[in-house]
Chains A and B, each alone.
Chain A
Amino acid sequence: MSKTVKDAIETIPTDEINSISLSLVRSEILTKVIEYCKKHNSAQMSDVDLMDWDVEFANVHYTTLFDLVLSANYMNINCLLDLVCGKIADMIKGKTPGEIAKLFDIKDVSTYEEDN
């Protein structure tokens, strides 16, 4: 599921692998990522149930979502990236530009007038 891990496995000779270094991913987030991968790799759930599970999985605080986005990107897990980006988009779509700037910690807030 993770292209990064897959590439690592493929390039390093098998008898030398003890651990794969994922230095940019914090342990709590990695736990969540592993939970996601396990769920999606098991053939136990129907598509509809899996979608519902995804919705619950992504129902977390912004900071966790941003961490997940960074991890999914680093570990190259496209379906997780898609899910989390979609969730973030859904959460911010109704916000004002000021709220967006605050959320993304953007300092150089422009003084552009809004088009229409």
Chain B
Amino acid sequence: MQCQETTAVAEEEEKGGALMEKKLKKKTLLFLPHELIIQILMRLPVKSLLRFKCVCKLWFSLISNPHFANSHFQLSSATPTRRILLMSSLLPRESRSIDLEAASSLDDYTASVSLNPNFMPFQSYSHIEVKCSCRGFILLHCYSQMMLNIYLWNPSTGFHKKIPLSPFVQHYHDFYGFGYDQSKDDYLLVSLSYHHLEIFSLRANAWEEIVATARLPFGRDDSSAAARPVVELLFNGSIHWMARCRDIYVIHTVIVAFHLTERKLLEIPLPVDINYNSSQCDLWVFKGFLSLWVSGYNTTVDIWVMKEYQVHSSWSKTLVLTNDFFHYISPICCTKRGDIIGKGGGTGTEREFHLSLYTAPLEHNPYSHTARGLVKYNDKGELLDHNPYDHTARGFHLTMYTESLLSLPSDIEQA
């Protein structure tokens, strides 16, 4: 490494220098003030920071400080390192975290680590779904004998919290979401259905029903073969879902968004030229814009981008991805270099289908979330790489997340 050569040369020069000079240099090292140590620590990755907590008492207190965690997150979110967490939904359970920036190819296992939540009876849940993430926290839905258990988990620090179920909703909620309200430094879980809109505030540690000023949406028609999972998308301070709304006699497919600070629902129209009943589609963020991917009967996936947020006329089709390898693909996120990472799926095995019906009747869609592998395209839509991670054909859920040192407002770590 060039750095080591320079070091070797400099060391040679030092040895040749006067003893006084050496003493002077050594003295300089001691005089690094706290604020400069913090500036250096702020630029370290989370893994290194966790390891350096035990360097000395000062570093332990600097790194453990919640204000430091906040500043560190702010700085790193300018150029985030995205990781993907893969977790097999059924037993025996495996999970893996892949560093998208470090991986030279999707086969590069040096960039992936096995990662298990060590706080819960991980192997005792029959069905776990990794849902979504926000600021380094991952939302997990865990099923044990048809009972749902909700967890928030920061895989970088191990911090976790179990979220109580809503006292209002006893039945299936079509939409769920997890996001951050910057104005109150609060994290919110959102549960939305045709009848209810409610939120769980981490600060208040309680569910609250919200009177919706806009019409409430309902989910997709699950009996149709083209039924899709309703995944939330956190963008621009709001949680977005693809949904259907009834306008007296007409049913529209729209984007429903919940603004986390204003705590209001609003609708954003979708491009008109698409047959939403016969296509697979969903939302994601592409190059900083709200984007829609649409997959029709052929093997291509169209990418639409809303160039101006909420402005209907600004929808434009910008890219087409070809899919030759998996049964279907859907884009997830972009790397720093601008490559598109997507998940590839196939038909679920029969065992999984029946099991999912039993353990998670709330989402019995065989296409629901389960992926078989990952794909990578460049920003022109050319396929760069594909990798079937799922060698046992059991399928896994995944989410993109970033690493953070953050902890939740309620600040209680459960054993």
Contacts and interface: CB of A to CB of B under 8 A. Distances in A.
B44 interface: yes
Contact of B6 (A61, A69, A70, A73): A61
A114 B3 contact: no
A116 B158 contact: yes
Interface in A85-116: 85-86, 88-94, 96-97, 100-101, 103-106, 108-110, 112-116
Nearest to A86: B43
A67 interface: yes
A23 interface: no
Range class of the A interface residue count: 35 or more
A97 B40 CA distance: 15
A79 to B, nearest CB: 13
Contacts of B36: 69-70, 73, 85
Contacts of A1: none
Interface in B1-38: 2-3, 6-7, 10-11, 25-26, 28-33, 35-37
A110 B45 contact: no
A63 B51 contact: no
A64 B32 CA distance: 13
Nearest to B7: A61
Contacts of A73: 33, 35-36
A62 B41 CA distance: 16
Interface string B187-219: 000000000000000000000000000000000
A65 B169 CA distance: 59
Contact of B29 (A66, A92, A96): A66
A60 B44 contact: no
A81 interface: yes
B52 A100 contact: yes
B32 A115 contact: no
Contacts of B31: 70
Q: Is the interface of A mostly helix, strand, loop or mixed?
A: helix
Contacts of A115: 50, 53-54
A82 B39 CA distance: 8
A114 B7 contact: no
B53 A60 contact: no
Contacts of A93: 44-45, 48
A92 B52 CA distance: 10
Contacts of B11: 61
Interface stretch (B55-63, B89-97, B351-359): B55-63
B55 A106 contact: yes
B10 A108 contact: no
Interface centre among B7, B11, B54 (most CB of A within 10 A): B54
Contact of B26 (A67, A91, A105): A105
Given A60-B10, A70-B32, A101 B55 contact: yes
Nearest to A98: B55
A111 to B, nearest CB: 8
A107 to B, nearest CB: 8
Given A61-B11, A108-B57, 16 more contacts: A60-B6, A63-B25, A66-B28, A85-B40, A92-B48, A93-B45, A104-B37, A104-B55, A105-B26, A106-B58, A109-B56, A110-B54, A110-B60, A112-B60, A115-B53, A115-B54
24 contacts: A60-B10, A61-B6, A61-B10, A63-B10, A66-B32, A69-B36, A70-B28, A73-B36, A81-B39, A85-B43, A92-B40, A93-B44, A94-B48, A96-B51, A97-B52, A97-B55, A105-B26, A106-B59, A108-B56, A108-B57, A108-B58, A110-B56, A110-B57, A112-B53
